[in-house]
């Protein structure tokens, strides 16, 4: 009987395991793949401040990001330079490997090639059925399986109400640029496409991806064609992108008897950008604290573990709600609306608002300010029916 079993060895699962092991608990992490961090589905952008906040190793940083170029459907652009490098590109495989090594040193055991088929939360323990192996029992469970929801259905947990599709691939590029974010129905319907510079030693690459409403591989290919010449992509045949279903809303309840849900598995993702690493780490830290205290006192009932949801909502709910409001509005906007916003940003003082209120991990202040800005409000709320 283990103290805790963690299902999934992404950042959220590994960080929860690390923190629980540091409290002296017997923790086992079950990972279905043969190595942590692979396959990579993530763009790998993280706020620099997260490294100090969570005690992360900075040697997984590949390069800083200092400038973003937003590109309208018609090809008009706006350049945003915050003045400091708020965000960095990380090597996701190395990032996860460092977390795994920290968790291992703290005493957690990470087991690869273990696909969880079912979880049962009984009154006295959690039972985990593993394909091809004997069941495992633990006092508690952290569900950190990412954007896969088969176990949610089996446990009676809800699913995120809103999803988009993503496709991404890292490619060699001879002419690296700043981050590019492209909008428009022909390039990424209801979402956006991106090109992010990646520097691996003296070799330049670009992570090209899309977040859109269906058929992500097709729009990925369109984005590749759009930036091929400007980034001087080396290969004509770019291969198949990694695909992922991206949750953009939180599940209705992130706890139950003996079990907590963290990160993408809980739908704790930025609705604006789809970024999930920071929220995974934050929710994992909160979950580990609550679970460790519950293990200390021998009370792992749902009423006790509900404190986890109370705490992450106190930290994140207002932010998530503001981001979701903008996401729902953005998904109704036409290309003409987007062009009007770009024109407004060039002529009406919107960019000073962005510079004053924007933050990589916190978008609420910017969103609320835009909602109160009369010209921006007129464009954003044009298609809403009240």
Write out pLDDT tens, residues 64-77: 999 999 999 999 99
Beta-strand ranges (E) seen in the chain are 2-7, 27-31, 45-47, 61-65, 68-71, 77-80, 87-90, 109-112, 116-121, 126-130, 133-143, 163-172, 179-182, 192-200, 203-212, 242-247, 255-256, 259-261
Residues 202-237 pLDDT 10s: 899 999 999 999 899 999 999 999 999 999 997 777
| pLDDT tens by residue, 92-133 | 999 999 999 999 999 999 999 999 999 999 999 999 999 999
Per-residue pLDDT of 80-100, as tens digits, reads: 888 788 899 999 999 999 999
pLDDT digits (tens, 9 = 90+) for 125-180: 999 999 999 999 999 999 999 888 999 999 999 999 999 999 999 999 998 889 99
383 pLDDT tier (thresholds 50, 70, 90): low
User: Is residue 386 scored above 70 in pLDDT?
Assistant: no
Which tens digit of pLDDT belongs to each residue from 320-346? 999 999 999 999 999 999 999 999 888
pTM of the model: 0.93
Q: What is the CA radius of gyration of the chain?
A: 21
| The pair of three-digit structure tokens given for residue 72, joined into one six-digit string | 């309208």
How confident is residue 57, by pLDDT bands cut at 50, 70 and 90? Answer: confident
Query: In this model, does residue 385 exceed pLDDT 50?
Result: no
């Amino acid at each position: 009987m283990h103290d805790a079993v963690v299902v999934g060895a992404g950042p959220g699962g590994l960080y929860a395991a690390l923190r629980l092991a540091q409290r002296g608990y017997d923790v086992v992490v079950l990972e279905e793949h043969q190595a942590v961090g692979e396959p990579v589905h993530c763009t790998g952008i993280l706020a620099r401040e997260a490294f100090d906040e969570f005690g992360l190793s900075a040697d997984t940083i590949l390069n800083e990001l200092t400038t973003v170029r937003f590109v309208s459907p018609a090809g008009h652009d706006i350049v945003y330079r915050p003045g400091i490098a708020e965000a960095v590109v990380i090597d996701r495989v190395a990032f996860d490997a460092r977390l795994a090594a920290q968790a291992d040193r703290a005493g957690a055991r990470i087991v690869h090639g273990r696909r969880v088929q079912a979880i049962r939360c009984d009154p006295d323990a959690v039972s985990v059925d593993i394909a091809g192996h004997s069941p495992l029992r633990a006092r508690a469970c952290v569900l950190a399986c990412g954007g896969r929801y088969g176990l949610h259905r089996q446990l009676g947990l809800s699913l995120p109400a809103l999803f988009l599709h993503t496709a991404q691939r890292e490619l060699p590029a001879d002419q690296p640029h700043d981050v590019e974010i492209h909008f428009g129905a022909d390039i990424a319907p209801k979402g956006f496409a991106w090109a992010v510079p990646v520097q691996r030693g003296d070799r330049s690459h670009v992570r090209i991806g899309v977040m859109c409403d269906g058929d992500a591989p097709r729009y990925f290919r369109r984005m590749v064609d759009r930036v091929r010449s400007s980034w001087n992509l080396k290969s004509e045949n770019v291969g198949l992108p990694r695909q992922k279903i991206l949750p953009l809303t939180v599940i209705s309840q992130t706890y139950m008897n003996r079990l907590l849900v963290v990160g993408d598995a809980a739908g704790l993702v930025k609705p604006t950008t789809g970024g999930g690493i920071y929220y995974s780490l934050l929710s994992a830290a909160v979950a580990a604290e609550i679970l460790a205290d519950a293990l200390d006192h021998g009370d792992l009932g749902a009423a006790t573990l509900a404190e986890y949801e109370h705490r992450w909502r106190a930290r994140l709910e207002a932010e998530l709600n503001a981001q979701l409001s903008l996401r729902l509005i953005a998904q109704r906007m036409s290309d003409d609306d987007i062009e009007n916003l770009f024109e407004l940003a060039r002529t009406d003082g919107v960019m000073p608002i962005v510079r004053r209120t924007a933050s990589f991990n916190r978008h609420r202040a910017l969103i609320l300010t835009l909602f109160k800005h009369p010209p921006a409000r007129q464009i954003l709320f044009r298609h809403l029916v009240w």
